[in-house]
Structure 1
Amino acid sequence: MASSTPLPALWLISDARNDAVLEAALRALPRGSGFVYRHYHLGEAQRYARYLALMRHARARSHIVVLADSALTAREWGADGIYGAPRALWPRRAGLLRIATVHGMDELAQANLFGCDAMMISPVFGTNSHPDAAALGPAAFHGLARHALAPVIALGGMDSDRARALGCERWAAIDGLTPGAAP
């Protein structure tokens, strides 16, 4: 992703639950949205094949594609960036967007230290991905976001109504952007 390319406001996250509806979800997103491909549930060959199929749909809509994997794999697969814990995103790799997962102040401080390009702060609200995880809630989310030195993306139980109520410019979802996904 070129540094002059604006960071998308809306991000779709892949998961085993929404796999069957991802093509339709990618088509429904506004042009130039973001897509984070995780699919940890698949073996290596299957994961790569599914990535290629979904990347074609994403590219047809000019979406930014970010891979939850190493910088080396992201380059080999043609992704625009990488997604993961702040330590996994260091050192910086030229030409790759780095989106850090942030669940608290320690990870936020690491993401700041490593100069990550964006931070997905989660879980803002209760989520099916991590049903036992304590949600941050709006106050703690905004408290963390105030300390971020990079753009913040809200994740966890997000949908358009919650994003609007939260007053968050950027947000991401699994279930909130894939109606009809498996429970």
Structure 2
Amino acid sequence: MAKIQTLPALWLLSDERNDAVLDDALVRLPRGSGFVYRHYHLGDPARWARFRALRHLAKSHGHMVILADSALTAREWGADGIYGAPRALYPRRRDLVQLATAHDLGEIGEANRFGADAVMLSPAFPTRSHPGAPSLGPARFRLLAQRSLAPVIALGGMTQATAHRLDWPRWAAIDGLSK
């Protein structure tokens, strides 16, 4: 696993729907939070330009910056790590923090096998990203999280209120941290 001095407790994920408020959201986050840049909706030149601006702002507030892309691109763009499905993290990169996405026990097992530094387990609660899709809920979330060898970050329907209800030390949001 990559050497992580302190894994942030709070994570903001970028998305097309929160792009207009990301600058303000990054400034409002507690110093040393995490930021996962996705922006799948942009083409390469625009995606790179927006990443560069947001990375500068995030770093000026002491945030860890993770890119949803390849390890090669993350290194070229100056990200602290990569985010994606567990298989996308293989082979292990010691110089990058690796955040695996997981939705079930199989993906938790893959994240364990591929040596993820942390796992974003979702959806903890109903979410706008996947309307009508079943969510894990607190009990199932905890059962799955216990199987992870790496720290687990709750994602999906997360806000201050749902984070309190889940009583979990690490959580991430798109809308819940953008308003």
Deviations along 1:34-85, one digit per CA (max 9) or x if unpaired, are 0000000000110000000101110110100000000000000000000000
Q: Secondary structure at the match of 1:153?
A: strand
Q: Which runs of 5+ in 2 are unaligned?
A: none
| TM-score, scaled to structure 2 | 0.97
| Aligned-residue offset at 1:161 | 1.4
Q: CA deviation at 1:132?
A: 3.5
Give 1:129 deviation, angstroms. 1.0
Deviation per CA, 1:124-177, whole angstroms, max 9, x where unpaired?
111111114211111110010011100000000001111111110000000000
Instruction: Write the distance in 2 (CA, Å) between the matches of 1:152 and 1:82.
Output: 16
Partner of 2:155: 155
Q: Matches of residues 127-138 of structure 1 in structure 2 within 5 Å?
A: 127-138=127-138
Cα distance in 2 for partners of 1:128, 1:101 equals 17
Q: What per-residue deviation string (whole Å, max 9, x for no partner) do you get for residues 8-31 of structure 1?
A: 000000000000000000000000
Q: Percent identity?
A: 63
Could you tell me how far 1:4 is from its partner in structure 2? 4.5
**Residue in structure 1 matched with residue 43 of structure 2 by the alignment:** 43
Look up the match of 1:17: 17
State how far apart, in whole Å, the 1-side matches of 2:77 and 2:21 are.
Answer: 22
Q: CA deviation at 1:94?
A: 2.0
- Superposition pairs for residues 159-174 of structure 1, below 5 Å? 159-174=159-174
- Once superposed, which parts of structure 1, at least 4 consecutive aligned residues long, lie more than 3 Å away? none
Distance in 1 separating the partners of 2:71 and 2:131: 30
Q: Is the 8 A contact 2:4 2:97 kept in 1?
A: no
TM-score by length of 1: 0.95
- 3-state SS of 1:147 partner: coil
Question: 1-side partners of 2:48 and 2:26: how far apart?
Answer: 18
Measured in 2, the distance between the counterparts of 1:104 and 1:177 equals: 24
The 3 A distance-change label for structure 1 pair 4 and 35 is closer
Question: Where in structure 1 are there 5+ consecutive unaligned residues?
Answer: none
Code of the aligned partner of 2:152:
V
Secondary structure (helix, strand or coil) at the match of 1:18 reads: helix
- What corresponds to 1:53 in structure 2? 53
Give the distance between the partners of 2:3 and 2:27, measured in 1 at CA: 25
- Number of residue pairs matched? 178
Superposed CA RMSD: 0.9
| 3-state DSSP of counterpart to 1:168 | coil
